[in-house]
Chains A and B, each alone.
Chain A
């Protein structure tokens, strides 16, 4: 973990007889995205509200860069708070103000900027989030997805160092959910803020997070990188993930990452008398950040979905695939050696050449490419090794230039 920006030290909070947080200690590294997961009602939002200063703890401390907020003077606390932004679950836009005024509000109230400077800053943020055209509308006149984007624009307009997201994708359709995740990840890389997300969207949030913290029974039950939690043998973690992880990815219709790992395990543990090679192919959709910036995050996620549908059309009855990152798809081809896998990729590349995966209306003139890394596996091979091999097989990469 990078240098910690925010630290929670033995945070305790009770509501009546219910101890929601019971000595939570957790640190959030600078410039990283940490996702807090856990069952409903376990206290994830309460934890986030402690960081935002909306709730005071019964005991324990919230430290910003090593300073206890409760011990700071009013001015210092105000300065510190200006560095933290909060994106609410329901967007919490001021419904009597226009979208433009909502985004401008933190600038107008907190910074002594000229009207021109405020107008320029707000227009820039609205433009970056593809909502320039709705500046003069009111929150009740726009869709849920747009409200989320406005909330994000309002949070980012002051260039905060830390952004807190409380279930940012609740109530959105699958493509929009994925677009919001892609947007958070994209903006985090662009602006470099520290992101703390409370979410139920597993495994999607694993694709964009550097760390996962699981809250259980008032304490942090698990903390680590996404890969670690997915492979965790802890029964509480397993039960939670098993209960919440969907069998199919909502966008691509593909199997979940956990299922494809299990399938790999079955293939790799076939009996000696039934030996069989099999392959995995890791497809990576390149230039997606560029696509998102030029044509919007919805367009990039539509491309991922359309590519997955095309891939499915070319696969055999026993083949399977899974989404393995925001822009990555992992295919498992049983009984298929590397040579046949390469042929499949060639055929796919040939037939997809010139195929308009991106609809013209959504992203005119966008050019992107898909790369494929192939790894052959046999009995006894580990999933991790095969995946690393696929990632490093630059010699067998196919680049499909698809417009």
Chain B
């Protein structure tokens, strides 16, 4: 990643999108729209003072929306290019029209530019490599899995962020229901503090206690006095908050990180309602997540629910067995029918064990859905721009005997843009696509080299 940012022969256009493509192999003209970051890329040093002082919080997309970040942000700490971007919709000044500009004031490099517009760049290239990757399948369309309804049912990528030391929980397996409770307590405590300050001021100013005022209002003696009515309402809300906060604090005090995990395979893939194909990497991904969770806390046990566990790849079968032996993983053959929730917000998994031919149910602390790998939302549009075809699953179509070739000369597709695959395969394909693209531009390079001699 760092090498790409530093390489003298790589022109990195991040936060940009292809808008138009014309021409043919050897001679493509490409129009790229460079989206406004509202930060001057040449001036920003990536110091982060702006984000430190920014008063606006918003959801962190990089952390699968489990954490929060500021409105001026770096996509992730190690992100390349190492420069900040203003999230236009979340920003107080740009999105909400309020007066702010704190980031511009604290920026020593004077890089913040609220007037910045989108830029347009014209490129002239001989070949194009499409490496647009994939999107995570949205499991909320499967009602029986309860994603979105049951807090402690998460996707594999969300779980990945929970496991990460640089993620929203610093690598601890805090349950999303407890994280939500903590946030609710924080919000209520803020309100509680504010009301407590207000009531104290009123009591000091008027020499009356809030309880007296509430009695006055109740008895009807304060009939038309609006201020007294407001005072009594605040006092009542304050009492309500106190009563609500206490049990919530007790509950969060007793909260434990997740120790018993369930992984559900083939969520959105190998399912005729959604995608017929196998997403290939999810079996090993679940084994890996269960192993890392166990590495973090050796009391963690996992059950992986699968039709069959596909460990096809060098070292994969051994890895699966090692998980079973060393990381407390149980492989359960059977498709999960439904996930419900008990009173303690634990997900309950209902399934048919096809080995014992029984319908069983088991309670877990957290359920991880091994979500399918699906074409990105922008794939059809890009295919149209490039004039290339898609296959029946919606990925970019390639030729079985020339597996990097798109349906048009000079355009090559690698990685999950052409279908689900794991990292080593993506890397191997990328190197192949690079070689094919280099072949296309080789004659032009030879001419250029001859010219310069």
The answer to whether A and B belong to the same complex is: no
A residues contacting B by CB (< 8 A) are none
